[in-house]
Structure 1
Amino acid sequence: MPERDVVSWNSMISGCASYGFFGYALGIFLNMQNAGVRPSEFTFSILTSFVSSAHHGKQIHGNMIRGGMNFKNTVIWNSLIDMYGKLGLVDYSLGVFLTMEEFDVISWNSLISSCYRSGHGELALDQFCLMRSSGHSPDEYTISTVIAVCSDLQALEKGKQIFAFCVKVGFFSNTIVSSAAIDLFSKCNRLEDSVRLFEELSRWDSVLCNSMISSYARHGFGEEALQLFVLTLRESLRPTEFTLSSVLSSVSIPLLMEQGRHIHSMVVKLGLESDPIVASSLVEMYAKYGLIDSAIRIFRKLVVRDLISWNTMILGLSCNGRVDETLHIFKELLGEGPPPDQITLAGVLLACNYGGLVDEGMSIFLSMKKEYGVIPSDKHYACIVDLMSRAGKLQEAMNVIEKMPHEPKALVWGSILRACGIYGDLKLTEKAAERMMELDPQSSLPYLVLTWAYEMRGRWESTVRVRRAMKERGVKKVIGCSWIGIKNQMFVFKENQLLHYGGKENYLILRLLTWEMEDEGYVCQRHDKVHAGGEEE
């Protein structure tokens, strides 16, 4: 072009940003300034919508001030408040808001949203109160944001008050507000209220159904989530990536595994298999059932992988005992992916724990803060303590506990206790059991390990004392069980007992099958036991 005006430059910046070429868009903005073309308010509005660096954001803010942007133009300053909110700089958002000569409901919404995004929920509620006291009327977006704040804070009573206000002003029929209220009740363990509210609404859309499906999935009602999903399909509501992700997360028992495969087929038909949200849910679903190769195939097909995708794959491999592959994926992430976070490193440490890789695990643990900027949490400490304890290095494990910046929780002491049960250090067993009883009074682990330790040493009075204390405190032993889904029935095996109607008949059939196998030569020898009562086991 022989001449390029501000509109031409803005079009190029906007075009690059819309396709995700944010660095190139910023480069064009610099070229625009070097060419002597003065940016317009629309230029800055585009730039603030995609800036991901605090340094660049502050530079753009400085350009706006030097360029003499009108402080009465609420649109441009609202976008600046929103930008700082996305960057987590809530102080700057407040600073911009306080310098504005005029502000509207969008200004308040941007400020409240900025506080919420930055993790300052209480501050967001305070801004909402200031908005009401200053005479500005909230809109549907304000209400939905404030209800979302109450959901994250588990502030049910405040959320109910705000919902009552929205009913009073006529926002009840707004699906964004209603879906936020469904999430509120669900996250505050009031699923029945979420269901009641959903059933009272006369019209469904994908936003409402997504919230309800997600609520069912959150509380473990997988079948109800699937039934609602089927109803949405019958209502010709096209599932979004969030719908499919919520439904896939609800497929948590073997009876629903086949439905999970059907949903995967639908994902492929809709062309959403490359969507990071849906793909991560598919990876999690397959990994959860041990179909780790299927999970790997989906992960490898992803063109764009966000940190959630990497973390899901790393955790899936770790939980399935694929130690070497976990470490290989972690190296790939360090080479080409985003920086790892707490979840990433927890998954890698878990893999080292399963594989007994003491040196590798300790090396990663010690480099967390220095190399990755991640401060170890209780989960990381528990994992490294468990790794040391399993390797028989109890003293090294205790050294890690003593160097913790805060008091270790029950999770950490549990690792020490389990190791004491193997390596038999009585003094350490008593110390760990005492601390765990204080931190987690209802856990049966310290009582069981102590009982075993005293029995091994013939200290029967101490054994009786521990058992009596366990009974008096109402601590119940955790009973292990296994279960399997066949067609539309769930069979649960708990302490050698089949817990469902007709269990005795099932054992009789199993015995007949065993006899047939013996007759066919598949079983060499029977190992039946006959008790005094004459009944075989």
Structure 2
Amino acid sequence: MFNLLQKAHRFHHTVSFFSGINDQCSSLKSPSNSLKLVHAQLVKIGLNFSNVYLGNRCVDLYFKSGSPKDAVKVFDDMSSKNIFSWNLYLKVLVKCSDMATARRVFDEMPERDAVSWNTVISGDHAKEMHCRIVKKDGCYSNLVVGNSLIDMYGKLGLVDYSLAVFLSMERVDVISWNAMISGCCTSGYERFAFHQFWVMRSSGFEVDEYTVSAVLTACSNLRNLEKGKQMFCFSTKMGFHGNAVVCSAAIDLFSKCNRLGSALRVFKESHMFDSAVYNAMIACHASHNMEENAFDLFVYSLRESIRLTEFTLSSVLHSAAVFVPVEQGSLLHSLVIKTGFETEAIVASSLVQMYNKYGLVEYALKIFSKMASRDLIVWNTMILGLADNGKLFESIELFEKLLESGLHPDQITYSAVLSACSYGGLLEEGMAVFSSMPQQQRGVVPTNEHYNCVVNMMIRSGLINEAIYFLYLLQWEPDSRIWESLLLACGDYENLELMETIADRLMELEPHSPLPYLSYLANTYEKRGRWESVVRLRRKMEKVTRKEVADISWIGIKGHTYSFEANPTFHHGRENVCSILGFLKQDMSTGDDNVFIN
């Protein structure tokens, strides 16, 4: 009896301990090493997974910590299983994109509930599972299953299917409306989302914070500041202004509408240490080229133990590629591995971009090759990274592998590979890629970016007249970059008449930029001794030239990053720098060349 009581007491403490670990894992995303130690200790004290509760907890914890293989192993070792065990196992399989096994397990389950259906619906065979649900159990009488179908079709961009399910349901609730509105935002039907919100309100349904957040997201996507302000005022009236979901959506709205001050005000007035709010503000700083602010806020969030998410790390890695020295970028990579986010596509894509920006293409390729699934964004990032780092043929080869993978290139893909052809002067290969664009699916239409690459390819091959004729045949208004490329080429061949024609066109497109005239045309006038034309040109430019943008640079010293602007009176240590400069000028004037020699 004593042994039984002792084992029961030990079991009680084990259950309590697992519950605490579960809460910690949910909030901190603990690494799997700690769980393996707990697992080993359970085996050591004789509490293996003959108990269903402990087995389910361990499967759940391994799954949340990013160790699906360990989760599957624990499931296989469990001597008894319930419906919760099978549903956890299904989640693991779907998360690993092993839909074939998930379908087989689903068919072999001794019993199924709404969670089972919802889990398997979230995989790749959505329409097939929908048909099975309607045929076997009927989904429209089950509110949970119907809502899951609406949400699933919305995430897949199939709004017509979402609407069909929504209209066929016997009863809907606020979750149904939220799923419908969110699906419209995800699929690019923001105006229909506004209409759905109006119908929802007219039908007497009470909105919640998720409804407001979804409508704010629609306003963000459309860059509709006025509607967004109205919605934010409505959320304040409803008492949602202190909600993290609403605040993060409002920050995103103001950020995308170039209202950085308003976004910062919402962030400061929220007084919340929430990951969603901090993610939104970090992304806001990063998108407005305020990488230093984004990085400082990220460091502050770490000090306050705010839970990291894949979106936090993605924004910070994006900033690191611009602002942070390579050593600190490597430390961020280590943090990604430690927190278990290296398998997340958005984080891996940001790592690829960061290493490409650093010029460490081999590191970027290593991460790219290890990704379990690659979306078009990471393909584009890698192709462009290879092109920017001089790996031109490798960039073209990767483009060909993309075509073989079954993904459809978009405008960014073609811009990247045409850039590679342009840098390398690969006219034949570049024209073949350009010619294939209109024939590709998904409506990829050439833009000025692509035309600029083609023109540069022709210019580097010495085909200036052909480039001009190419633009003439397009019946497309070239932008200033294309004209500048032609102007530079004409300067090399000293075609002054054509240069003046192009310069006049550039003046119409960008009247406040002195670059076309002063850099190209004025130099040509000086070479030919046409000083009167030089003076006339410079006077003309003085009337239209506005304030120049100050240059800025960064340098990392002993783990700290210092920024320097073109104005010498506004940077770190300006007093010391100015005093040293004065000292050097004095020594130079005295002609003492050995001042620093002992």
Per the shorter chain, which TM-score range? 0.7 to 0.9
Is residue 472 of structure 2 the alignment partner of residue 388 of structure 1?
A: no
Give 1:198 shift: 2.1
Give 1:143 shift: 0.9
Specify the code of the residue in structure 2 equivalent to 1:238.
R
Distance 1:72 1:414, change over 3 A: farther
Specify the code of the residue in structure 2 equivalent to 1:377.
T
Deviates more, 1:344-353 or 1:62-71: 62-71
Give 1:93 shift: 3.6
Aligned to 2:523: 452
Specify the code of the residue in structure 2 equivalent to 1:128.
F
Is residue 129 of structure 2 the alignment partner of residue 50 of structure 1?
A: no
Q: Show the 5 A alignment for 1:136-151.
A: 136-151=205-220
Aligned to 2:29: none
- Mapped to 2, the partners of 1:403 and 1:75 lie a distance apart of 58
SS at match of 2:469: helix
Note if contact 2:458-2:466 (Cα within 8 Å) is conserved in structure 1.
yes
Query: Which residue, out of 286, 291, 305, partners 2:355?
Result: 286
Deviates more, 1:348-357 or 1:263-272: 263-272
Query: Which residue, out of 91, 94, 98, partners 1:17?
Result: 94
Aligned to 1:122: 191
Distance 1:478 1:213, change over 3 A: closer
SS at match of 2:97: coil
Note if contact 1:143-1:177 (Cα within 8 Å) is conserved in structure 2.
yes
- Mapped to 2, the partners of 1:496 and 1:364 lie a distance apart of 47
- Mapped to 2, the partners of 1:300 and 1:516 lie a distance apart of 55
Distance 1:169 1:320, change over 3 A: same
Aligned to 1:417: 487
| Alignment root-mean-square deviation, CA | 4.1
Is residue 424 of structure 2 the alignment partner of residue 355 of structure 1?
A: yes
Query: Which residue, out of 482, 488, 505, partners 2:580?
Result: 505
- Mapped to 1, the partners of 2:473 and 2:459 lie a distance apart of 16
SS at match of 2:474: coil
Specify the code of the residue in structure 2 equivalent to 1:384.
V
Aligned to 1:109: 178
Per-residue CA shift, 1:366-385, capped at 9, x if unaligned?
11232565332322222222
Per-residue CA shift, 1:90-130, capped at 9, x if unaligned?
34444444454543222222222222122122222232222
Note if contact 1:82-1:114 (Cα within 8 Å) is conserved in structure 2.
yes
Aligned to 1:182: 251
Per-residue CA shift, 1:392-431, capped at 9, x if unaligned?
2223322332343643333333332332333333444344
Aligned to 1:226: 295
Q: Show the 5 A alignment for 1:200-215.
A: 200-215=269-284
Aligned to 1:432: 502
Is residue 471 of structure 2 the alignment partner of residue 398 of structure 1?
A: no
Give the percent of matched residue pairs that are identical in Structure 1 and Structure 2: 47
Count of aligned pairs between the two proteins: 506
SS at match of 1:196: helix
Q: Show the 5 A alignment for 1:167-316.
A: 167-252=236-321, 256-316=325-385
Note if contact 1:44-1:76 (Cα within 8 Å) is conserved in structure 2.
yes
Distance 1:102 1:420, change over 3 A: farther
Note if contact 2:141-2:170 (Cα within 8 Å) is conserved in structure 1.
yes
Distance 1:297 1:475, change over 3 A: same
Specify the code of the residue in structure 1 equivalent to 2:471.
I
Distance 1:425 1:145, change over 3 A: farther
Deviates more, 1:493-502 or 1:159-168: 493-502
SS at match of 1:145: helix
SS at match of 2:438: helix
Aligned to 2:445: 375
Distance 1:349 1:495, change over 3 A: farther
- Mapped to 2, the partners of 1:388 and 1:496 lie a distance apart of 42
Aligned to 2:31: none
Note if contact 1:274-1:301 (Cα within 8 Å) is conserved in structure 2.
no
SS at match of 2:439: helix
SS at match of 1:268: helix
Aligned to 2:541: 470
Give 1:288 shift: 1.6
Note if contact 2:321-2:353 (Cα within 8 Å) is conserved in structure 1.
no
What TM-score comes out, normalization by structure 2 length? 0.72
Distance 1:438 1:78, change over 3 A: farther
Distance 1:266 1:467, change over 3 A: same
Give 1:254 shift: 5.4
Deviates more, 1:273-282 or 1:332-341: 332-341
Note if contact 2:554-2:564 (Cα within 8 Å) is conserved in structure 1.
yes
Give 1:471 shift: 1.9
Distance 1:397 1:496, change over 3 A: farther
Give 1:28 shift: 8.5
Distance 1:451 1:130, change over 3 A: farther
Note if contact 1:392-1:423 (Cα within 8 Å) is conserved in structure 2.
no
Give 1:461 shift: 4.5
- Mapped to 1, the partners of 2:253 and 2:150 lie a distance apart of 26
SS at match of 2:197: helix
Gaps of 5+ in 2: 1-82
- Mapped to 2, the partners of 1:406 and 1:41 lie a distance apart of 55
Deviates more, 1:290-299 or 1:146-155: 290-299
SS at match of 2:122: helix
Gaps of 5+ in 1: 1-5, 33-38, 521-537
Deviates more, 1:174-183 or 1:63-72: 63-72
Distance 1:508 1:393, change over 3 A: farther
- Mapped to 2, the partners of 1:367 and 1:224 lie a distance apart of 43
Per-residue CA shift, 1:249-288, capped at 9, x if unaligned?
2225556544323222222323333433222222222322
Deviates more, 1:264-273 or 1:378-387: 264-273
Query: Which residue, out of 410, 413, 417, partners 1:341?
Result: 410
Distance 1:43 1:495, change over 3 A: closer
Distance 1:175 1:314, change over 3 A: same
Give 1:462 shift: 4.2
Per-residue CA shift, 1:21-77, capped at 9, x if unaligned?
235656899x99xxxxxx99877645542347xxx73x6666666668364544444
SS at match of 1:369: coil
Distance 1:86 1:491, change over 3 A: closer
Aligned to 2:54: none
Q: Show the 5 A alignment for 1:482-497.
A: 484-487=555-558, 488=560, 490=562
Query: Which residue, out of 353, 378, 390, partners 1:321?
Result: 390
Specify the code of the residue in structure 2 equivalent to 1:305.
R
Distance 1:307 1:479, change over 3 A: same
Note if contact 2:140-2:165 (Cα within 8 Å) is conserved in structure 1.
no
Give 1:459 shift: 4.5
